[in-house]
Structure 1
Amino acid sequence: MAKECFVCKKSVVSGNNVTHSNKHNKRVWKPNLQKVKIVLDGTPQRVNVCTRCLRSGKVERA
Structure 2
Amino acid sequence: MAQVCELCGKGPQFGNNISHAHNVTRRRWNPNLQSVKALTNGATKRVKVCTSCIKTGKVVKG
- Report the TM-score, using the length of structure 1 for normalisation: 0.87
Cα deviation per residue 1:18-38 (whole Å; 9 max; x = unaligned)? Answer: 235433111110110000000
Where does structure 1 differ by over 4 angstroms across 4 or more consecutive aligned residues? none
Please provide the CA RMSD for this pair.
Answer: 1.3
Question: Which runs of 5 or more residues in structure 2 are unaligned?
Answer: none
- Per the alignment, residue 3 of structure 2 pairs with 3
Question: Which runs of 5 or more residues in structure 1 are unaligned?
Answer: none
Q: How many residues in Structure 1 have an aligned counterpart in Structure 2?
A: 62
- Per the alignment, residue 52 of structure 1 pairs with 52
SS in 2 for 1:3: coil
